[in-house]
Amino acid sequence: MLIKTHRDGFVHERSSEITPRAVYQERRDLMRWMASGAAGVGLAAWAGREALAQSATARPGKLAPLPGRRSAVAGAVTLEKVTDYRDASTYNNFYEFGTDKSDPARNAHTLQTQPWTVEIDGLVRKPGRYAIEDLIKLSAQEERIYRLRCVEGWSMVIPWVGYSLSKLIDKVEPLGSAKYVEFTTLVDPKTMPYVGSSVLDWPYVEGLRMDEARHPLTLLGFGMYGEVMPNQNGAPVRLVVPWKYGFKSAKSIVRIRFTEQEPGTAWNKAAKNEYGFYSNVNPQVDHPRWSQATERRIGEDGLFAKRRKTLMFNGYESQVGQLYAGMDLRKFY
């Protein structure tokens, strides 16, 4: 199954506009940033990440091919350029391995992904514990090119490998009282050096409403770029929800629980005023500390990449907008 990306909502600048407002504003922001004294720290951090990216493989080939996968990315169609593998695998949010975007690629080699099991319980008729091999074999895997947006205003386009989470949900048969799906990730101080930090309440927990979890776009991911998932990207199994912010995609999942009540999620508990349960991409609702109206694409000229307009639901509004019909999206952010 191929999910095509769209560019709905993009506004192209007129050729008569020598200096677009966004570029002009960005230059002013950059000057203020440099004047504040933060530029040295920021540029040094970016330079470090770039060095790590350059040392990483520029294309897949280091990891094993994912078994049972359908057609390769060559058969996929997208109107957007796919993010380079080296960028997608070196710019990551995975706080168990560090809070800097480059930390997971440096530190996640300690993660042990074999053996691996996922416990499924709660309000289901068929609870159980699944080995990762059995989960992979549960349904034919597809390659889907999805945009994923980071909270800080960056986005990337990645060919994920996996299948719709609904396949697993159908297998375990939730009860009628199950309204939410909760995802709990691994917490192992021996292999995850930052789980002792106070930045979050460990283990990391995320959640979806049942209709969100059942939506065909919601992916249970086992790989990317045709290979098994790199450790720093959430090996061996993670969630991919393309219309939500990237932190909503739980990594290294060890438990999936079906509940009647809304789960308490990691970032919502850590900073309720900044991170709501829904975490939908909404350019009309600013984060308390930054605007959500524009974004940069990872791999496009680094810190000086031209900003592009953020699309409602990350560009998937026509597919998922009906899930939130009648909701106040400024209140339920």
pLDDT by position in tens, the chain (length 333): 333 333 333 222 222 222 333 333 443 443 343 344 444 444 344 345 444 544 454 445 566 666 655 443 333 445 688 999 999 999 999 999 999 999 999 999 999 999 999 999 999 999 999 999 999 999 988 999 999 998 778 899 999 999 999 999 999 999 999 999 999 999 999 999 999 899 999 999 999 999 999 999 999 999 999 999 999 999 999 999 999 999 999 999 999 999 999 999 999 999 999 999 999 999 998 888 888 899 999 888 766 778 889 999 999 999 999 999 999 999 999
The sign of the dihedral angle between the CA atoms of 183, 188, 189, 191 is: negative
The DSSP symbol for 245 reads: B
The predicted structure's pLDDT at residue 80: 80
Q: Are strands 253-259 and 117-122 parallel, antiparallel or unpaired?
A: parallel
0.85 surpassed by pTM: no
Question: CB of 33 within 8 A of CB of 24?
Answer: no
Give dist(CA 47, CA 58) in Å, integer. 17
The predicted structure's pLDDT at residue 20: 35
The predicted structure's pLDDT at residue 65: 66
Which residue, 109, 113, 312, 153, is CA-closest to 246?
153
Task: Burial-class residue 287 by CB neighbours within 10 Å (0-12, 13-18, 19+).
Answer: middle
Q: Which domains does the chain have, with CATH numbers?
A: 21-324 (3.90.420.10)
